[in-house]
Amino acid sequence: MNNSGAESEIQTTEVNSVQEQAQSLGVRAPARFGLLPGNFFSATKSSELRYRSHALDTKSLLRQGGLPVEMVTGEGIAIPYVDERDATWAGPMVFVAAEMFSANPGITAVALNLMSNYVYDLLKGRDGKRRARLSVVVESTKHKRTLRVDFDGPPENIPHLEKVIKSALG
């Protein structure tokens, strides 16, 4: 079944600085590029943090693609993974620091294409709608803000996030 005509929902929200949020939670965030727990911005303490179920697969996939993926860490903190058994693929929250985005603007496109292809293949042959949920958090030094872009739609539309991110940061 082909979903390419299906609609995608993309929302852009301004959020706290990743480093400030990490500091308030007592954890260390990725410095340049990495994965954040799905509830990173809503958690009020580190014990509440949870990675989405596909974070480990995504970490491996991005590393195989040559991307330097980091995870949120902390002294004596083990962040669990939530097993979301659903027909929708719930991807991790990908973080791209301003320094990384400036030095390598194509990193977002590479990451999104890798994930899109992976999820499309993973969900191929499943009955019903193929859906993916994914968030990308990007810092902008030019505008001194951090944006979270949330995607919900067919996996083959994930690469469209790149245009939204560039437009929002432009």
Give Dmax (Cα) for the chain. 46
Domain boundaries, the chain: 9-169
Q: Which helix (H) or strand (E) holds 95?
A: strand 88-96
| Phi, then psi, of 48 in degrees rounded to 5 | -85, -15
Q: Contact at 8 Å (CB) between 62 and 99?
A: no
Q: Which helix (H) or strand (E) holds 138?
A: strand 131-140
Torsion, Cα 115 167 13 92, to 10 degrees, reads: 10
| pLDDT over 70 percentage in the chain | 93
Residue 39: its pLDDT value, please?
A: 94
Q: Contact at 8 Å (CB) between 22 and 137?
A: no
pLDDT, tens only, 37-65: 999 999 999 999 999 988 999 999 999 99
Residue 170: its pLDDT value, please?
A: 65
Name the pTM for this structure: 0.87
pLDDT, tens only, 95-125: 988 888 778 878 888 999 999 999 988 888 7
